[in-house]
Amino acid sequence: MNQLSLMGNFSKPRLSTPIANPSICAQCYEKGQSCCTYRKNTTYDMITIISKFEINRILQVFPRLNRSKAFVEKTNTKTFEHNVEELFPDRSDAVMRSFMPGKTHFELSTTEKGCRFLTPKGCVLPRDARPLFCRIYPFWFRNNEAMVFFDTHCLAIKNCSTIQEVYLAIGTNPSVVKKIFIQLCCEWGLEKSEAKVAGIL
Residues forming a β-bridge with 37 = 114
Strands 71-75 and 145-149: unpaired
Q: What is the 3-state secondary structure (H, E, C) of 98-165?
A: HCCCCCEEEEECECCCEECCEECCEECCCHHHCCHHHHHCCEEEECCEEEEECCCCCHHHHHCCEHHH
Would you say 137 or 188 has its CB closer to ligand SF4?
A: 137
Amino acid identity at 128: D
**Taking a C-beta distance cutoff of 8 angstroms, is the pair 147, 139 a contact?**
yes
- Identify which of residues 50 and 182 has a Cβ nearer to ligand SF4 in the complex: 50
Query: Of the two residues 62 and 80, which places its CB atom closer to ligand SF4 in the complex?
Result: 62
CB of 55 to ligand SF4, least distance (A): 11
Give the span between the Cα atoms of 97 and 196, in whole angstroms.
19
Q: Which amino acid does the sequence have at 66?
A: N
Half-sphere exposure for 92 (CA within 13 Å, toward CB): 7
Nearest approach, Cβ of 70 to ligand SF4 (angstroms)? Answer: 10
Minimum CB separation of residue 197 from ligand SF4 in Å reads 20
Tell me the closest approach of the beta carbon of residue 50 to ligand SF4, in angstroms. Answer: 9
Q: Shortest distance, CB of residue 134 to ligand SF4, whole angstroms?
A: 3
Q: In the complex with ligand SF4, which residue's Cβ is closer, 171 or 189? A: 171
Q: Please, which residue, 101 or 174, has the CB nearer to ligand SF4?
A: 174
Binding site for ligand SF4 (CB under 6 A): 24-25, 28, 34-36, 108, 115, 117-118, 123, 125, 130-131, 134, 137-138, 153-156
